[in-house]
Structure 1
Amino acid sequence: MNDPYELRYDPIQKDFLYLHRTTTYNMGTFYHRHEAYELYLFLRGNVNFYIENSCYRLVPGDLLVLNPEEMHRSYSLDETEYERITINLQKSYLHRLSTPATHLSACFDYRPKGKGNIVHLKEDQLEQFLQFTSSLEEALASDAYGRDVQANCCLAQLLVLANTVFQNASYIPTDIMPDLVRQTMDYIETHLAQEITLEQLAGTFHLNSTYISRRFKQHTGLTLRSYIVDRRIALAKSYLCEGLTITEACYQSGFGDYANFIRSFTKIVGISPGRFAKKNASLPE
């Protein structure tokens, strides 16, 4: 039986996490989220990048921004070397780097969910970005006095550049997500509070249920069941943030069994619904 908790989460414990990686194998096979913002620069390879219900064939110089609510997945189409730079940043860290006049989280937050995630850097912008990341790598590898300040300066410069590029972007990437997968995601999203079965999906799309399941798993890395559970947990989190009780959040997000809701929520979120609600209630406005 397929594991209903296939969705992967990468917890980010530090203020930021910088990685410059080159691989010849697939990473990020499953849709996942981070507990932080992500700045991602694609340098080379043969890669499809999935964000929510869209998919893009990346081109060297593509810069992506992702917030903690956006599911995403990179998939190497072959064993070509896949090089990218990823920087994960905690919300609190971006807040400290920002000023009243310069909100460095703007490119992550001020856009519709799953939309406007990609820009393509011009040659001079890419060169500037790589200069900043090279200086950041030097600061992170150093034990000299002031290395943390230098790293913060590099990150601030990178974020100013990223925000400036996104503010002035006119680039529209081509979405290559198969219609069936996108329509299945849209159907699930609009029927979360109701029962969703393979038979219903087969009847809606007039296709064999096995074919729908196989195509969905091929492009998301997830079973339909695990995807539905995740979307319902995300809905329950929003209800808890709005002040609904745990019982109300459970049933209004489509869970028919309270014990299963508690177990699923704790497994996916990492804390119980009760602790999540208390933690959210204690956060400043």
Structure 2
Amino acid sequence: MKKCLNFPYTVIDSEIICEHKRARIDPTDISTVHNHDGYEIVLFLKGDVNLMVEPELFKMQPGDIFFVSPLVFHGVDLEDVSGYERIVINVQYEYLRNLGDAETDFSTLFRSTESANMNHLRIPVESIPKFVSIAKKLEEALHSNAYGHSILAKAYLAEFLLLSCKYSENVPPQKKSSTMPVAVAKVLEYVDKHLSDEITINAMSTELHYSSDHLSRAFSEATGDSLKHYINAKKIALAQKLLLENNSPYDVCFMVGYNNYSSFSRRFSNQIGVSPKQYQLSNRVS
């Protein structure tokens, strides 16, 4: 993966975003691992692509659909930048929450028995056109100014999700086929386990029995991110969740392993764009 240490957090600024992406991609456009404040669906159609959804790395095949939960880090590694075709749908957290009803919780699509953060379906090749057709109608409705276009968009999104649910019930779950290097998988597991602590690369290398240089180099090659940068980004993602659960910003600072509130607040503001308190007030869930 190309090393690109931009801020990894992206705000989904529309209720629904749907894009059928077919354009050629220049290698300089490939981003590092990142996360969103809402849900993401990726329907893979063509190309030579590896998808990283922590802590796994998958070789994508036509018909693969990945449902990624909010704040989960993910990214792509393109072996061939000339033919990457996919459909990407982003949905704001609250919008998806309100889309279903008492009997239909669409958020269940975004987790599986193997992962609380991601679900992976493989659609039969002959069924891919059904999904592409619905996504095309959804994209057209989102870009229309016609009367009722937002209602149509909502209906097409629900249809896409319901069709996905149908295949989720009828298609066996995909067996793990991760190609993530062992050392990097251990790093991801270690970071998750110790997010509430002060994490140092030296302490990690001692526990995992690798040199710190090897861990840093292997992690950067696999994800495109620096290990130190990733650790801080993961801590801030956890802080977001804790703030949305109405923990005080001061308490959250120590809950994610920082021992100085000023340092925590500065790091949070740099990554998210607002202070912890401002984030909590603007995103408070009733």
Q: Normalising to structure 2: TM-score of the pair?
A: 0.87
- Contact kept? 1:29, 1:75, Cα under 8 Å: no
Q: 1:127-276 residue pairs with structure 2 within 5 A? A: 127-140=129-142, 142-170=144-172, 171-276=174-279
1:202-225: CA deviations, max 9, x gaps? 323333322211110111221111
- Structure 2: distance between partners of 1:136 and 1:4: 32
* Residue in 2 that maps onto 1:78: 80
- Of the three residues 84, 98, 101, the one matched with 1:99 is 101
Closer, same or farther in 2 for the Cα pair 1:109/1:62, shift >3 Å? closer
Q: CA deviation at 1:4?
A: 11
Gaps of 5+ in 2: none
Give the length in aligned residue pairs.
280
Q: CA deviation at 1:109?
A: 5.2
Closer, same or farther in 2 for the Cα pair 1:252/1:98, shift >3 Å? closer
- Structure 2: distance between partners of 1:42 and 1:4: 23
Q: CA deviation at 1:120?
A: 0.5
Q: 1:34-113 residue pairs with structure 2 within 5 A? A: 34-108=36-110, 112-113=115-116
- Structure 2: distance between partners of 1:128 and 1:223: 40
- Structure 2: distance between partners of 1:153 and 1:188: 40
Gaps of 5+ in 1: none
- Structure 1: distance between partners of 2:155 and 2:280: 36
* Residue in 2 that maps onto 1:24: 25
Closer, same or farther in 2 for the Cα pair 1:51/1:139, shift >3 Å? same
Closer, same or farther in 2 for the Cα pair 1:10/1:195, shift >3 Å? closer
Closer, same or farther in 2 for the Cα pair 1:275/1:268, shift >3 Å? same
- Structure 2: distance between partners of 1:235 and 1:224: 17
Closer, same or farther in 2 for the Cα pair 1:16/1:272, shift >3 Å? same
User: Secondary structure at the residue paired with 2:106?
Assistant: coil
Identity %: 30
Instruction: State the AA in 2 paired with 1:41.
Output: L
1:77-132: CA deviations, max 9, x gaps? 123310011011113322443233322332025763334x2111013431211221
